[in-house]
Amino acid sequence: MAFGILYDYLMGQTIEAYRYFGAHFVEQDGQHGVMFRLYAPMADDVSVIGEFNGWDVRTHKMNKVDDAGVWEIFIPGLADYQSYKFHFKNARGEYVDKADPFAFYSELRPQSCSRIFDIENFIWHDDEWLKRRNRCEEEAMSIYEMHLGSWKGKIYDRYPSYEEVADYLIPYLQEMGYTHIEIMPITQYPFDGSWGYQATGFYSVDSRYGNPKQLMSFVDRMHQAGFGVILDFAPVHFANDSFALREYDGTCLYEYSDPAHTLSPWGSAQFDLGKDPVRSFLMSAMNFFIEYFHFDGIRCDAVSNIVYWDGNKANGENYGATEFIRRLNGKIHYAHPNVMMIAEDSTDFTKVTTPTEYGGLGFDYKWDLGWMNDTLKYYSKDPIYKKYEHNKLTFSMAYFYSEHFLLPLSHDEVVHGKGTIINKMWGGYDQKFALVRNLYAYQYAHPGKKLNFMGNELASWDEWNENKSLAWNLLSFPKHDSVKRMCRDLNLIYRAHPALYREEYNPERFAWTMVDNNDQSVFAFERRFGDEVILCVFNMTPNYYEYYDVGVYEEGEYEEIFNSDKDVYGGWNQYNGLPVTAYPGGNLEGRPLHICIKLGSFAAAFFRKKTPEPAPKPKPKRAKRK
């Protein structure tokens, strides 16, 4: 088995390299100890140094077991949490100390040693969840993106543990109606301000929040409570710290050797995704978190920097990197048919979510960053000028069916001076709140899965800071608390109505009923599934309409199931109480029928076509007695 994994590792074909490399507890010659294995082809005179041998480079010399550059040694009598590094002479003749690329655990920064940890034998309780887990194509999926350390903030100047976060997070998710969480990277990283996107240990669970089994417990509890867990993973680049992967054996073992591509646009080292061992290293890392931690999906960061050299289309496709992505998604889906692979991709690269057997990259979903950018620009415009930007709200449906899109309002939109979501809205205090309610309603009405970063539901004015808690005190102010209540209700409405999520990637399930009204900046569309029809209407200006005609396709009564202008959401309470009836005519963009509704300032309203009650069955006649 070991030889097979090593061969496949060198050929770029394994997703189980962690079973061979790293530090594993084993029994050998009747002794219990740890087998260390290292891949460092150009290293020489390799030792394991650690607290168990007083960091003496002479005590535990490793043996080179083949010409591929694999070194190993068995050391009996070791225990969990003992720190270690590899000491060796690199290709430049320099003696260096390096962390284990396959370490399962590491010291808390600023310390940089790897730690021995037995990751086996965790007792799981999520069998029922795993049996019904799927990729959610025909289910509602509302994702709560979060940074574990800053959701509730530090406790006595330390980050909360995985279990401490779970204690508060589970009841909050149950209250709010989300279906999944997506946690920002928790592979070991030294610099807090990188948020995990510049890692040093790609198998090492972030020690800020605890050890690997504490993370397993976190996921296990989420599953028992009914929530999926998606891991954000950065396969493009890694931190430059000298103890980690950079020039690991004195050569560019993991990064590009071409100086034009060695560094990423972020200044970090860039993985050479055309090298087969690097492919195996990263594919195995993602599979490791699926296998050992039961993650339900992997979100691949910065796919634009994979498909194009340096993320620039003008530089052309990086064919070695796109082959890596196809191989990754193909192998993960073969091993785990019910696990999602999600691309954070800002390019117009085609077939991102087309299966690999049909020439695609094989992702299940792609973040619709075009929708996000166009939408936020539109909501920031003065209503006087919105008629000139009308296509920013209609363009997304022109390309929506080309991929399986997910609609993100993510952490990237609330940092680096961009302002928070509510700060991006046009107008004064009341107008901003009205528009942010309209925006969230639009996101939930639009086809595509949903993702919101933590704090969006609070309508926070302060940009996210990884070192500070969310501004939970805002909930003592009615306006902010009302936005949170509306976000909860949107989740519940979304999950309760199949027309809002079933077959959403089928163009027959969506129809504009008002798309060309740029003068008034009012939009309307229908979502359909089976007998259910939901009409969604959006007024993008402060104009109030006591009577407003909207075209529809089907006759009958329409009852209002949501209105962002209700006072419980902080609005002016201009809503439709009683059902409205569809009538012929109206000449509204050629629609055969119309309904007349009350349409509040900056209001969003959802109407559900009432299904006629089935006629009661006649009672059987009783036979007359003779």
DSSP secondary structure string for all residues of 206-273: -TTS--HHHHHHHHHHHHHTT-EEEEEE--SEE---TTTTTTTTSS-SSB-SSTTTSB-TTSSEEB-T
Reported as a single tens digit per residue, the pLDDT across 516-536 is 999 999 999 999 999 999 999
Is the confidence at residue 624, as pLDDT, over 60?
no
Torsion-angle region of 521 (φ positive above 0: left; ψ -120 to 50: alpha; else: beta): left
Mean pLDDT of 368-396: 96
Q: Which two tokens stand for residue 576?
A: 């439709």
Reported as a single tens digit per residue, the pLDDT across 578-600 is 999 999 987 678 888 999 999 99
**For the chain, what is the mean pLDDT?**
94
Judge contact between 301 and 197, C-beta under 8 A.
Answer: yes
- Per-domain boundaries in the chain: 15-115, 513-609
> Lowest mean pLDDT: which of 82-86, 387-391, 426-430, 608-612?
608-612
Q: What is the rounded distance in angstroms from the CA atom of residue 603 to the CA atom of residue 441?
A: 9
Q: What is the pLDDT of residue 5?
A: 84
Q: What is the rounded distance in angstroms from the CA atom of residue 56 to the CA atom of residue 177?
A: 55
One of 249, 301, 364, 560 is an active-site residue; which one?
301
Reported as a single tens digit per residue, the pLDDT across 218-257 is 999 999 999 999 999 999 999 999 999 999 999 999 999 9
Residues forming a β-bridge with 270: 237
Q: Comparing 15-115 with 513-609, is the CATH topology the same? A: yes
Residue 380: which pLDDT band, with cuts at 50, 70 and 90?
Answer: very high
Reported as a single tens digit per residue, the pLDDT across 34-67 is 999 999 999 999 999 999 999 999 999 999 998 8
Q: What is the 3-state secondary structure (H, E, C) of 336-373?
A: CCCCEEEECCCCCCCCCCCCHHHCCCCCCEEECHHHHH
Reported as a single tens digit per residue, the pLDDT across 188-229 is 999 888 999 999 999 999 999 999 999 999 999 999 999 999
Residue 617: which pLDDT band, with cuts at 50, 70 and 90?
Answer: low
Which residue, 212, 184, 210, is CA-closest to 198? 184
The CA-based angle 192-197-198, given to 5 degrees, is 75
Q: What is the pLDDT of residue 590?
A: 81
Q: Which amino acid is at 578?
A: L
Which residue, 239, 140, 231, is CA-closest to 194? 239
344 is catalytic: yes
Which residue, 1, 60, 16, 65, is CA-closest to 39? 65
Q: What is the rounded distance in angstroms from the CA atom of residue 360 to the CA atom of residue 366?
A: 12
Judge contact between 29 and 55, C-beta under 8 A.
Answer: no
Sign of the torsion angle spanned by Cα atoms 126, 129, 132, 135:
negative
CA 139 to chain centre: 16
**DSSP class of 323:** H
Judge contact between 107 and 120, C-beta under 8 A.
Answer: no
List of residues 6+ apart from 209 with CB closer than 8 A: 148, 149, 159, 160, 161, 162, 165, 186, 215
Q: Can you spell out the DSSP letters for 429-486?
A: HHHHHHHHHHHHHHHHHSSSEEEEETTGGGT-SSPP-TTS---GGGGGSHHHHHHHHH
Give the burial class of 445: count Cβ atoms within 10 A of its Cβ; 0-12 exposed, 13-18 middle, 19 or more buried: buried
3-class state of residue 51 by DSSP: helix
301 is catalytic: yes
> Lowest mean pLDDT: which of 138-147, 155-164, 286-295?
155-164
Judge contact between 34 and 74, C-beta under 8 A.
Answer: yes
Q: What is the pLDDT of residue 619?
A: 65
Q: What topology does CATH give the domain 15-115?
A: Immunoglobulin-like (2.60.40)
Q: What are phi and psi of 48, to 5 degrees?
A: -100, 125
The CA-based angle 454-460-466, given to 5 degrees, is 55
Mean pLDDT of 496-517: 96
Mean pLDDT of 349-373: 96
Torsion-angle region of 570 (φ positive above 0: left; ψ -120 to 50: alpha; else: beta): left
Reported as a single tens digit per residue, the pLDDT across 116-125 is 999 999 999 9
Q: What is the rounded distance in angstroms from the CA atom of residue 459 to the CA atom of residue 431?
A: 13
User: Of 2.60.40.1180, 3.40.640.10, 1.25.40.10, 3.40.50.300, which CATH number belongs to 513-609?
Assistant: 2.60.40.1180
Q: What is the pLDDT of residue 495?
A: 97
Cα of first residue to Cα of last residue in the chain, in angstroms, is 86
Mean pLDDT of 300-304: 96
3-class state of residue 280 by DSSP: helix
List of residues 6+ apart from 453 with CB closer than 8 A: 145, 146, 409, 410, 411, 413, 414, 464
Is the confidence at residue 3, as pLDDT, over 70?
no
**Number of neighbouring beta carbons within 10 Å of residue 148:** 25
Judge contact between 540 and 383, C-beta under 8 A.
Answer: yes
Reported as a single tens digit per residue, the pLDDT across 421-456 is 999 999 999 999 999 999 999 999 999 999 999 999
Buried/exposed 467-495: b ≥16 CB within 10 Å, e otherwise = eeebbeebeeeeebbbbbbbbebbbebbb
Which residue, 538, 529, 530, is CA-closest to 505? 529
Is the confidence at residue 2, as pLDDT, over 80?
no
Which residue, 155, 288, 149, is CA-closest to 207? 149
Q: What is the pLDDT of residue 156?
A: 83
- What strand order describes the sheet that includes 593-599? 545-552, 593-599, 583-584
Longest dimension (CA), the chain: 113
Q: Which amino acid is at 229?
A: V
One of 16, 145, 232, 344 is an active-site residue; which one?
344
Which residue, 1, 22, 3, is CA-closest to 285? 22
**DSSP class of 108:** P
Q: Which amino acid is at 516?
A: D
Q: Which amino acid is at 348?
A: D
Residue 72: which pLDDT band, with cuts at 50, 70 and 90?
Answer: very high
Q: What is the pLDDT of residue 285?
A: 97
Q: What is the rounded distance in angstroms from the CA atom of residue 102 to the CA atom of residue 367?
A: 30
Residue whose pair of structure tokens reads 């979060």 in the numeric block: 146
**Helices 429-445 and 478-496: angle between axes, nearest 10 degrees:** 10
Q: What is the pLDDT of residue 551?
A: 92
Cis peptide before 542 (omega within 30 of 0): no
Is the confidence at residue 315, as pLDDT, over 80?
yes
* Cα separation values, 488 from 177, 481, 497, 593, Å: 6, 11, 15, 33
Q: Which amino acid is at 317?
A: E
Judge contact between 61 and 46, C-beta under 8 A.
Answer: yes
